[in-house]
A = this chain, B = another copy of it.
Amino acid sequence: MGEFELIRQYFMPLARLHGSSSVIVGPGDDCAVQRVPPGSDLVFSIDTLVEGVHFPVGYRPDYLGWRTLAVAASDLAAMGAEPSCFTLALTLPEADELWLRDFSLGLGNAAESFGLTLAGGDTTRGPLTLSVQVHGVVEQGGAIRRSGARAGDLVVVSGSLGDAGAALDYLPAQEDLDADDSAAADKQFVLERYHHPQPRLDLGKALRQFATAAIDVSDGLLADLNHILEASNVGASIELARIPVSPALVRLKGSAATDYALHSGDDYELCATISEASWVGAPAWLKQQLTVVGEIEPVSGLRLDGSAVVSGSEATGFDHFRRKA
């Protein structure tokens, strides 16, 4: 079966997920065409995952399909955008039909879950590499930027942090977790957080009314909060005891749990800044999804329990050219 047939068989169903989609020309022409609703801006982001760098060699293709789209959709969440469609540039060493079937299954489940229609793509031969561009829409001027944080704003994060980072310690053994291991359920929990990140799309949309800045935590809280601080030209103080960590992570990693929360980002939670007044006025259902971990301050730099962290993304960031998978 040739490239064209494989693509048709496994990916075309993903182009027909949403009848109400703004995609008016989907895969199969030189370009796709999207009609952005009047009064809306187009919001888009491209992300690449490379085998052996961003996911383990031999990673399950259905997990990979989910994860690839989740990672990209998380950027839409951070801007508060409504998801619309995506393109996929898939580079594969060989056209393995079983792999494509499982990958497209995971990708399709994610697309359905996030409200994203496949608009187009390119399939090529080469080392396993996936680039996904996601498109969303937001009312004109309504996208949440990184640059809006102001001194006095509260720093909030969604969910719990560090779980997926801890999962990296258990990934090679993912298939043979010992059922007698009393930590098996906890390991399963953090592994699931790694395999199936849930981009905070609804939360991001809700934050549009309240947040002054937002970012998705893809590289770790320290690195990503630093991006907000630099873009907004402010600083922040964080209380370590307030950083939300799951009971499973604490049982697995003890006092190191907070380190995972600070330095790993594979959970794809959101970090946002909100003025005190907005926070007070925010509805309970929104507050329940967020934890206040600190405050924005006029003096630049990031302080943890009062101690300054070396500033700048070099010291704290995830750097793809340095990291080992």
Contact surface of A with B, Cβ cutoff 8 Å: 2-5, 24-25, 28-36, 38, 41-54, 75-76, 78-79, 81, 87-89, 91-92, 94-95, 119-127, 129, 131, 133, 136, 138, 140, 143, 145-147, 214-216, 231, 313-314, 317, 319-323
Beta-carbon contact of B81 and A321 below 8 Å: no
Determine the distance from Cα of A30 to Cα of B88 in the docked complex, in whole angstroms: 18
Determine the distance from Cα of A31 to Cα of B142 in the docked complex, in whole angstroms: 13
Selected contact of A30 from candidates B24, B45, B317, B321, CB within 8 Å? B45
Beta-carbon contact of A125 and B2 below 8 Å: no
Beta-carbon contact of B95 and A321 below 8 Å: yes
Beta-carbon contact of B50 and A32 below 8 Å: no
Question: Could you jot down 25 A-B contacts, CB within 8 Å?
Answer: A2-B322, A4-B314, A4-B319, A28-B231, A29-B79, A29-B146, A30-B45, A30-B215, A31-B44, A31-B79, A31-B81, A31-B136, A33-B44, A33-B143, A34-B41, A35-B41, A35-B140, A42-B42, A44-B87, A46-B89, A48-B91, A48-B126, A50-B91, A50-B126, A125-B321
Determine the distance from Cα of A46 to Cα of B89 in the docked complex, in whole angstroms: 7
Residues of B within 8 A of A129 (CB): 91, 126-127, 129
Give the distance to chain B from A95, nearest Cβ to Cβ, in Å: 5
Beta-carbon contact of A30 and B124 below 8 Å: no
- Known A-B contacts: A4-B313, A25-B145, A29-B147. Give 20 more (CB < 8 A): A2-B314, A24-B41, A29-B145, A30-B146, A30-B214, A30-B215, A31-B75, A31-B79, A33-B43, A34-B42, A34-B44, A35-B140, A48-B89, A48-B122, A50-B124, A53-B126, A92-B321, A94-B321, A127-B129, A131-B131
